[in-house]
Structure 1
């Protein structure tokens, strides 16, 4: 009976957490006056941390999962009409809402609708419970299983949100997935074995909650780096302050390396609110003294909330459009880009 109550409590707590994230996302969006609609300009000021957080939080809004295919295709049609000058009756708010829905649900290159579990808006409700299961695991087999599920989920999110206009080889995808799973399982197995042999069963059960944190940091960082390492080898485009490509499309490995490192770092930092803060809170009285029927729902709610607000926060740490000094570029590119304001060029960091 305790198990049933715990599961029901955890399910209710997860629902509360998801609804809270969706509610805050809508509240934050409403705090920012919508500028005149544009298909190119951004809804928020991405030069500020506040604006970047607002954009990412609205992208992660779980309520976007409720939209049906007909609604998504209708939003695409409205945007198409706007581009052809046929949407005179659509309000500014309707146009921004349509753009947000399309960007959150449609793969920009293939134009296919992304399955719900693998959208950014689906990350919290679908991956959050997996994270809870990882922290709740008190045996090595269970810990290894949920680490595998977590990295498989992450790999599929990366795949469906990839840049499909520049295809990643199946070999790269397989290596990235294998490296992430291997790193996570190796770290989880090693730490769980060390803890079980070094500490008493009661103390080991407490410490096992923290094993998910280092294993996820290593796995997420290695997954991201391996997936995007080809960018460093081939380089990425460099832009002027208006977003125009410089040097006749020549690519910079220096800019690519900076973009990849910023993304890897943000992926590592994301694991703190997801896998470190919730078990830390649960180790503090009075939460530490709670029964399983209470502790599991509390852990679930803390994790969902931390995930929901931690994800947009960490993605927003670095600007989507990064900058690098001309003098730091490859010698052959310095002359090609010519004189730039403040001696700076820019690049698209990616996610």
Structure 2
């Protein structure tokens, strides 16, 4: 089993553990690490004899794993292109708040249209679009399946059911991420305006952008942590042709992001 997945199995058992790990692994400063540094870190991890059966106490080792989680694809063991690494998610996603800024700047004539277009429509629209995009991009996993492993990391076959489970979990987490990111700021801004915390109307735009950034920064690790990175699937949920080759009862797969 890949070192990244072994790390997730050892350190990411609960939502809170995964949230803390993703909070560190999504640090945009990790994008500045050079290829040589990433390769040296990966080699250090691979040469480490620790089995990861218990939480890591060495902070240097944990930092090495964070760089590996944010830069290395666990299936191919190759360095992920910078724009597709998890730490790049927020810098790339944040500009998608921009259309709301324009919609809030220009007032529509109909109050009902304002309610629908500016308040009600963005959250479900972006949530569904994000989930649909994940499903489309990873559609080959529906058709071809993904590798499943036993608890020792040995690949025992390729499962379409595991692929479906991995894609659906990831699509749901993206829908929650963007749906919440566009819904919660509207609720918070409504409270701010009702309480009149901001006296200057022109400052509301800046406050709105700050709120959106804050919600996005919190929702990124939260959505990534909804499901374990090293997913688990029961024997009864796998294809018969896979089960015929092993007596194991629990199997694991890389859920992806």
If the TM-score is normalised by the length of the shorter chain, which range does it land in? 0.7 to 0.9
Q: 1:271 aligns with which of 178, 184, 202?
A: 178
Does the CA-based 8 Å contact 1:137-1:208 persist in structure 2? no
Q: 1:312 aligns with which of 221, 230, 246?
A: 221
Does the CA-based 8 Å contact 2:141-2:160 persist in structure 1? yes
Does the CA-based 8 Å contact 1:238-1:245 persist in structure 2? yes
Q: 1:257 aligns with which of 164, 189, 193?
A: 164
Q: 1:131 aligns with which of 76, 96, 107?
A: 96
Measure the CA separation in 1 of the matches of 2:47 and 2:242: 39
Measure the CA separation in 1 of the matches of 2:92 and 2:45: 34
Match of 1:330 in 2: 239
Are 1:350 and 2:256 counterparts? yes
**Once the 2 structures are TM-superposed, how far is the Cα of residue 83 of structure 1 from its aligned partner?**
5.3
Select the structure that is richer in helix.
Answer: 1
> What's the Cα RMSD here?
3.4
- Per-residue Cα deviation, 1:230-251 (whole angstroms, up to 9, x for no partner): 11211222211222212xx3x1
Q: What TM-score, normalized by structure 1, do the two folds share?
A: 0.59
Query: Structure 1 residues 100 and 336 mapped into 2: Cα distance closer, same or farther (>3 Å)?
Result: same
Which structure has the greater CA radius of gyration? 1
Measure the CA separation in 1 of the matches of 2:42 and 2:140: 34
Match of 2:125 in 1: 215
Does the CA-based 8 Å contact 1:125-1:304 persist in structure 2? no
Q: Which runs of 5+ in 1 are unaligned?
A: 1-37, 86-91, 144-195
- Per-residue Cα deviation, 1:79-116 (whole angstroms, up to 9, x for no partner): 5367569xxxxxx434443443354346675956734x
Q: 1:283 aligns with which of 190, 203, 207?
A: 190
Query: Structure 1 residues 267 and 98 mapped into 2: Cα distance closer, same or farther (>3 Å)?
Result: same
Q: What TM-score, normalized by structure 2, do the two folds share?
A: 0.77
Measure the CA separation in 2 of the matches of 1:98 and 1:214: 38
